[in-house]
């Protein structure tokens, strides 16, 4: 392969096309109930008038994303009618004809174009090393592969079925715009994203504080602190009007129809339990396990009566309310307080000493990870909100690369239980190995001059992941405990991964606070 001397981006379309073709190969693989969710939403938005969208509940999968996403599904439904009209009938529950599957799968692949465009913009923002002629060694190339061929995004979107690529495209594009100092565009993109899926509210504090601090205050003092006099009301007005107008466009019709309370109740359903059926690897998984452990210990030591313990199982298949037996139960407000406390130092750091757009990115990361750690009813898929932006930092800084390897490998492994069918086992193992081998070797080569990326303890932990994997996927199904304790592998995966995720969270915080101690650099 001839290495061109000039800055040639010919490899980018090849990477993008390659991954898109690979996605098309899995059209007939397993898909989860999320497939039916989106088919239902296509049907609702196409067949019913707008006033009925948030009241419709023929299917259990009611519309629980903000209105812009509903309009997106409405647009898709116009293309869908050329594939198979029957999928747009609301009563056709669990309808999955071959044309339906083809259409839905292709729509995910097609909307991933937003993600591909966003990756391109992020790669442009990454600083190139001077004099590196080898394409494989360029930070932009490595970042492109880490984003486009991300294992977690691939299996969640194209096998499990969701539209995360589309949404993350908006997030990454907004980040790229901020890195390029185009703040208004970044704010616009983020407002659109918020109105597409409200889970990104978790990272809104980072945006809010950063834009207020670095955009509305046009100048800093010499030591980096805020110069109150340089406040620009015009800029604040511009930002405010962008956000308000996007929200008005999205929620406007429903406010006019007086349906806002109903929409909000659909968007924020707090009836679900603390943890998803499969515990996301966050603090609450460790809390649950500790509680169970203490309960078992208490029964053994005759400190507790077994009959007194609540009967509800936390590891049951459906989402239910449950209580803890020994430790205090956790309510949604407690999780909110914990989340806010966890992101407070990061946000405060951005306010006191903003380090440009990269500092904002770090704060965004910590907000995302903090809310993953302490949030209510978190899905394990949410770890991707932290993994993808961290890729940008990983190709530029050695310390971040090390944290990235731990968080990504752990986070990706925690997604394994999503694909539980035996036919998908070789796919998830091979793809995971591919991504892991690539990320380790590419990042090590990129930062080779600055020493090893991982500490020995981290290497041992990651090797332990392999052992857990083999135990859960191969050994356990063939062992006698399969009948008695069917949720043991899920428990083991969840707990083992939460250790890694917590560790990465702490390390990221330490790295942020350590940067805070240094003298402020010119941004």
Partner 1 sequence: MQTWSLVSICVLLGVVVRWGVSLNYYSGAGKPPMFGDYEAQRHWQEVTYNLPVQEWYFNTTDNDLNYWGLDYPPLTAYHSWICAYIAKMINPEWVELHKSRGYESPAHKLFMRATVLVADLLIYIPAVVLYCLYLTDGSSKKKVSTLLCFLLYPGLILIDYGHFQYNGVSLGFALWGVLALGLGWDVLGSMAFSLALNYKQMELYHALPFFFYLLGKCVKLGLMGRGLFLLARIAVTVLVTFALCWLPFLSDPSQTMQVVRRIFPVARGLFEDKVANTWCSLNTLIKIRSILSSESQLYLSFACTLLAILPSCIRLLTKPTFWQFKLALANSSLAFFLFSYQVHEKSILLAALPVCLLLNNLPLMAVWFLQASTFSMLPLFLKDGLLVPYVVTSLAFLFFSIYLLSALERCSEEELRLGSLP
Rounded to whole angstroms, how far apart are CA atoms 293 and 290? Answer: 5
Pattern 313-332, binding to partner 1, x per CB under 8 A? --------------------
Residue number, 245 or 421, with CB nearest to partner 1:
421
Q: Which CB, 426 or 451, lies closer to partner 1?
A: 426
* DSSP structure class, residue 68: H
Cβ closest to partner 1, residue 423 vs residue 463 = 423
Instruction: Decide: is 110 part of the binding site for partner 1 (CB under 8 A).
Output: no
Site string for partner 1, 28-57 (x = CB under 8 A): xx----------------------------
- Give the closest residue to 301 by CA, choosing from 272, 326, 265: 326
Is 477 a binding residue for partner 1 by CB under 8 A? The answer is: no
* Residue 362: burial class (beta carbons within 10 Å; 0-12, 13-18, 19+): buried
Residue 17 contacts partner 1 per CB under 8 A = yes
The stretch near partner 1 (CB under 8 A) out of 12-20, 286-294, 377-385, 498-506 is 12-20
445 binds partner 1 (CB under 8 A): yes
Question: Which position among 9, 21, 244, 521 is part of the footprint of partner 1 (CB under 8 A)?
Answer: 21
Q: Does 22 bind partner 1 (CB under 8 A)?
A: yes
457 is a site residue for partner 1 (CB under 8 A): no
Q: Which of 88, 122, 239, 442 binds partner 1 (CB under 8 A)?
A: 442
133 is an interface residue for partner 1 by CB under 8 A: no
- Tell me how far apart the alpha carbons of residues 199 and 371 are, in angstroms, rounded to a whole number: 10
Nearest approach in angstroms of CB 27 to partner 1 is 6
- Specify the residue, 107 or 339, whose C-beta has the smaller distance to partner 1: 107
Instruction: Using the structure block, give the residue that is written with the tokens 């930070």.
Output: 139
Q: Is 113 in the site for partner 1 (CB under 8 A)?
A: no
Q: Hey, what are 113's tokens?
A: 């174009």
Query: Residue 7 or 305: which CB sits closer to partner 1?
Result: 7
Which range of residues in 11-19, 65-73, 460-468, 488-496 is near partner 1 by CB under 8 A? 11-19
Q: Which is nearer to partner 1, 85 or 445 (CB)?
A: 445
The length of the chain in residues reads 523
Applying CB under 8 A, does 14 fall inside the site for partner 1? yes
**Residue from the set 137, 185, 262, 323 that interacts with partner 1 by CB under 8 A:** 137
CA distance 57 to 49: 14
Enter the tokens of residue 103.
């259409």
3-state secondary structure 443-498: HHHHCHHHCCCCCHHHHHHHHHHHHHHHHHHHHHHHCCHHHHCCCHHHHHHHHHHH
Q: Which of 94, 241, 333, 441 binds partner 1 (CB under 8 A)?
A: 441
Task: Compose the 90-109 pattern: x for residues touching partner 1 by CB under 8 A, - for all others.
Answer: ------------x-------
Using CB under 8 A, which residues numbered 418 to 437 contact partner 1?
Answer: 422-423, 426-427, 430-431, 433-434, 437
For 330, how many CA atoms within 13 A lie in the half-sphere containing its CB? 23
Indicate the residue among 17 and 257 with the shorter CB distance to partner 1: 17
- 438 part of the interface to partner 1, by CB under 8 A: yes
Q: Answer for the pair 111, 165: CB distance below 8 angstroms, yes or no.
A: yes
Q: Among 10, 449, 483, 522, which residue sits at the site for partner 1 (rule: CB under 8 A)?
A: 10
Binding residues for partner 1, rule CB under 8 A, total 30
| 459 near partner 1, rule: CB under 8 A | no
What's the Cα-to-Cα distance from 211 to each of 61, 193, 231, 238, rounded to whole Å? 36, 16, 12, 11
CA distances from 350 to 212, 218, 347, 362, 521 (A): 10, 15, 5, 9, 14
Q: Is 285 or 442 the residue whose CB approaches partner 1 more closely? A: 442
Burial class (CB in 10 A: 0-12, 13-18, 19+), 392: buried
Structure-block tokens of residue 371: 């809310």
Question: Which neighbouring-strand residues pair with 231?
Answer: 217
Binding-site member from 90, 96, 113, 136 for partner 1 (CB under 8 A): 136
Q: Which is nearer to partner 1, 13 or 252 (CB)?
A: 13
Residue with tokens 């983020």: 190
DSSP letters of 405-443? HHHHHHHHHHTGGG--SGGGHHHHHHHHHHHHHHHHHHH
Yes or no: say if 258 and 271 are a contact pair by the CB < 8 Å rule: no
First to last CA, the chain: 38
Rule CB under 8 A: is residue 301 a binding residue for partner 1?
A: no
**Alpha-carbon span 112 to 52, nearest angstrom:** 29
| Nearer of residues 26 and 476 to partner 1, judged by Cβ | 26
- 290 part of the interface to partner 1, by CB under 8 A: no
Query: What letter does residue 162 receive in the DSSP assignment?
Result: -
For residue 38, the minimal CB distance to partner 1 (Å) is 20
Binding site for partner 1 (CB under 8 A): 1-2, 10, 14, 17-18, 21-22, 24-29, 102, 136-137, 422-423, 426-427, 430-431, 433-434, 437-438, 441-442, 445
């Amino acid at each position: 392969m001839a290495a061109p001397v000039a800055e040639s981006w010919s490899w980018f379309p090849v990477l993008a096309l390659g991954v898109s073709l690979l996605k098309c190969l899995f059209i007939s693989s397993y898909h989860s109930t999320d497939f039916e969710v989106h088919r239902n939403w296509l049907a609702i938005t196409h067949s019913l008038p707008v006033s009925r969208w948030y009241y419709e509940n023929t299917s259990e999968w009611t519309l629980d994303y903000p209105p812009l996403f509903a309009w997106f599904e409405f647009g898709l439904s116009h293309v869908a009618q050329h594939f198979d009209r029957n999928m747009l009938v609301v009563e056709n529950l669990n309808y999955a004809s071959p044309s339906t599957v083809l259409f839905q799968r292709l729509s995910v692949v097609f909307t991933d174009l937003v993600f591909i465009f966003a990756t391109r913009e992020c790669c442009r923002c990454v600083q190139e090393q001077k004099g590196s002629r080898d394409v494989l060694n360029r930070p932009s190339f490595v970042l492109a592969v880490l984003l486009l061929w991300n294992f977690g995004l691939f299996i969640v979107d194209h096998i499990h079925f969701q539209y995360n690529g589309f949404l993350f495209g908006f997030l990454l594009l907004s980040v790229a715009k901020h890195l390029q100092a185009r703040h208004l565009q970044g704010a616009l993109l983020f407002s659109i994203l918020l109105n597409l899926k409200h889970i990104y509210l978790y990272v809104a504090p980072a945006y809010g504080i950063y834009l207020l601090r670095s955009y509305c205050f046009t100048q800093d003092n010499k030591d980096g602190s805020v110069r109150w006099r340089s406040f620009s009301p015009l800029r604040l007005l511009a930002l405010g009007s962008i956000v308000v107008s996007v929200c008005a466009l999205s929620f406007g019709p429903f406010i006019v129809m007086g349906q806002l309370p109903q929409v909000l109740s659909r968007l924020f359903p707090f009836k679900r339990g603390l943890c998803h059926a499969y515990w996301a690897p966050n603090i609450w998984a460790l809390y649950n396990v500790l509680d169970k452990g203490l309960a078992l210990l208490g029964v053994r030591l005759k400190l507790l009566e077994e009959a007194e313990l609540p009967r509800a199982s936390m590891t049951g298949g459906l989402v239910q309310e449950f209580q803890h037996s020994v430790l205090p139960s956790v309510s949604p407000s407690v999780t909110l307080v914990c989340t806010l406390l966890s992101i407070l130092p990061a946000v405060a750091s951005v306010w006191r000493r903003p380090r440009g757009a990269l500092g904002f990115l770090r704060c965004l990361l910590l907000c995302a990870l903090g809310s993953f750690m302490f949030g209510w009813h978190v899905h394990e898929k949410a770890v991707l909100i932290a993994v993808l932006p961290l890729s940008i930092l990983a190709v530029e800084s050695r310390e971040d690369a090390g944290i990235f390897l731990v968080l990504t490998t752990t986070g990706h492994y925690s997604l394994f239980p999503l694909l539980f069918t035996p036919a998908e086992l070789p796919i998830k193992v091979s793809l995971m190995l591919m991504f892991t081998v690539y990320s380790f070797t590419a990042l090590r080569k990129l930062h080779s001059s600055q020493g090893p990326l991982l500490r020995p303890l981290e290497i041992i932990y990651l090797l332990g992941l392999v052992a857990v994997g083999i135990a859960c996927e191969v050994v356990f199904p063939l062992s006698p405990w399969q009948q008695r304790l069917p949720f043991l592998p899920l428990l083991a995966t969840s707990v083992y991964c939460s250790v890694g995720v917590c560790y990465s969270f702490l390390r990221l915080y330490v790295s942020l606070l350590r940067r805070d101690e240094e003298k402020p650099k010119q941004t």
